[in-house]
Amino acid sequence: MEGERARSSVGASSSSAAAAAESSEPRVHPLFNVAVEDAEAVRLSRSLRDIQLPALEVDVGTESNPLDLLVVGCGPAGLAVAELAGKRGLRVAVVDPDPLRMWPANYGVWVDEFEAMGLADCFDKTWEKARVCMTEEENERTGGVVLNRPYGRVNRAALKRRLLELSSQNGVMFAAGLVGGGEGDVVHAPGHSTVRCKGLPGGRTELVARQVLDATGHSRRLVEFAEDFTPGYQAAYGAMLRVADNGHAFDPDEMFFMDWRDEHLEGDDKRGNAEEPTFLYTMPFSRTKLFVEETSLVARPGVPFDELKDRLVKRLAYLGVKVEAFEEEEFCLIPMGGVLPKMPQRVLGIGGTAGMVHPSTGFMIARTLKSAPTLVDAIVGGMEAQREAGGAYDADEVSRRVWAQVWPEEEQRQRTFMVFGMEILLNMDVDATRRFFAGFFSLQDKQWGGFLSWRLSAVSLIGFGLSLFAESSWRARLEIIVKALPFLPTFVSNFLGAKNAFESEPFGGIVSRESVPKLRGSPPDPQAIYADGIKVEERVAN
C-alpha cells in the first residue's frame, strides 16, 4: 500500500557463539585450572536479542532509490554516526554480519570523557582514582603514583542498546550482510557508490548510497591507503576471575592502570620481558571479582598471546591471587600508529578505519564518539551545499569536505606527535619504559591527562614534550634522545607540513593492510570484522 512503511525487523535469533558456550558438562579452564563459570558472559552475549531493528526496505538502497548514507559496520563508531545522521534527516542504513551481536572488546575510559558526552549511565563500574607502579622498590616506598582522575569500564550492553534504540527511533534501517573488502566490492559513480554484500535478505547482492562510511574497525574493509601501513601493535590477554574471599590485595575503590613490576619472572622469562615489556592492568570489581589483563603497550609485531598468558599466570601467583573460577576472557590486538588512510577518498572512515586509535596508548572509543558529530555535520553540510548549487550530485566533493573536517591539519599534527612518541616507546626496554613513565606521570594532571585524551593542541604538545624532557631523569633524557633521533627528520617533515607519510620502516617490517599478524595462542580467526576490536567471528546472520 502506498505510504505504508514496512514493519519487518532484523534480529531475535540467538548467537551461535553463545549457544556453543552452553554446556551441561562442567568445564575447567586450561590456563587457570579452575571451573569455568560463564553464565554471565553468555547472558551478556544474548542481552540485545530482544531488540527489533527496522529492516532495510526492499526498494531502498538501489540505483533508482539510493540511500543518503550506508554505514558498513555496527560497532560504536558506525552506530554513533548512523544515529546522528538519521536524526539530521538523512536516509541511513547499517549493514553488518550480525547487528545484534555484542561487541567483543571491553572499553576502559576516563569518566570525565563519557560524562561530557552524556554517557555517565553507560558504565559497569567506576573507580575514583587509578594507580601506576614502576618497580617493587617504588611500591614499598610510596605505593606508586596515584592518578586522581576517575576511570571506568564501559557497559557495552547499555551503550550498544542506547545507540541501537536511538538509531531505530531516528529512522535508521538495518541489514544483516557481509562486505568482503576485496577489489571491486565498492564501485563509484559520480553521484553514488555501489557496495557488494553477501548474505543480504531477499537475495540482494548490492546496496547503493550517495555516501559510504567504512566503520569496520581495524579490518578496514573499504578504505584505501596510499602509503604502506606500518603500525605497532598493542596486544593484551585479559580474564574476568572469581577469587576467594579476600583472595587479592587490590583496593576495590582503585583501579591499577599500569603495574610494570617483574619480580614474578626469572631467567629467560625475565630477559624476554626486559626486551618486550608488559604490564598488568587491573579492575577490582569487589573483594571476590577481578578483571586482570597482561598488556604489551606497543610492539612490532605484537607480543604473542601465549607469552601474555604465561606472564599473567605467573604474576597472579606471585601476587597471591587465589583464583576460584574463570568467567570470561579477552584477546586484544590493536594496530597503533602507521599512516592515515588516503585523504581525500570517496569512502569515508571513522574509528579504526580512519586511524583514530591513540598512537601512544591504544585508547579510541571516546575519541571516536566525539568525532561522530563532526563527521555527520560535514556530510549534512556537503549535501545541503550540493542542493543549493543545483545540478548533479557530486559525491567526491562531499567526501573531500568530510575528510577535511574529520582530519584537519591541526589534528594531523597532533597525531604525528603521538606516532613519534609511539616509535620511541616501541624501542625501549623495560627499564627505559619505567623511567619514561616515571617522568610522564610526574607532569601536571592537565598535561598527562590532556595527552591521553587528545586535548592538547599541536603547540601544547611541543610544550608537553619539553616538560616531559625536563621532568625526566638524566638517563631517561639520554634514552629519549637516542630513540628519537632516527625519527626526527620524518617527524619534523610531517609535523610542520601536516603530512601523512610518517616513516617507521627502520624499526620494523612492513605489515600489509590486508592482514593482522596471527599470534600463537590466539583464538580461531582473531582478525576483527565489523568491530573496534580483534576477536570477532566472521559470520553472516541469515
pLDDT band at 486 (very low <50, low <70, confident <90, very high): confident
Please state the rounded mean pLDDT for residues 42-66.
92
Is pLDDT above 80 for 3?
no
Q: How far apart are CA 333 and CA 314, in angstroms?
A: 22
pLDDT for 517 equals: 52
What pLDDT score was predicted for residue 20?
42
Q: Which amino acid does the sequence have at 298? A: V
| Domain contains 446 | yes
Provide the grid cell at 178. Answer: 557481509
Confidence of residue 13 (pLDDT cuts 50, 70, 90): very low
- Say if 349 falls within a structural domain: yes
Tell me, what's the pLDDT at 252?
92
Q: pLDDT tens digits for 297-329?
A: 999 888 999 999 999 999 999 999 999 999 999
Same domain, 116 and 244: yes
> What pLDDT shows up at residue 541?
28
User: What average pLDDT does this structure show over 478-504?
Assistant: 87
CATH code for the domain of 255:
3.90.660
- Considering the domain boundaries, does residue 376 fall inside one? yes
pLDDT at 42 over 50: yes
Q: Can you tell me the mean pLDDT for 375-383? A: 97
Residues 142-194 have pLDDT tens digits of: 889 999 999 999 999 999 999 999 999 999 999 999 997 677 789 999 999 99
Q: What pLDDT is recorded for position 510?
A: 35
Average confidence (pLDDT) over 126-131? 96
Give which of 179, 204, 273 is closest to 61, Cα–Cα.
204
Which residue(s) pair with 54 in the sheet?
Answer: 9
Return all residues near 94 (Cβ < 8 A) that are at least 6 apart: 71, 72, 73, 74, 78, 79, 82, 167, 172, 173, 174, 175
Q: What is the pLDDT of residue 505?
A: 60
- How many domains does the chain fold into? 3
The predicted structure's pLDDT at residue 225: 85
Same domain, 215 and 361: yes
Residues 174, 248, single domain; the answer is: no
Same-domain check for residues 373 and 437: no
Q: Is 217 left (phi over 0), alpha (psi -120 to 50) or beta?
A: left
Segment 473-478 shows an average pLDDT of 94
Element holding 73 (H helix, E strand): none
Q: For residue 424, give its domain range.
A: 409-504
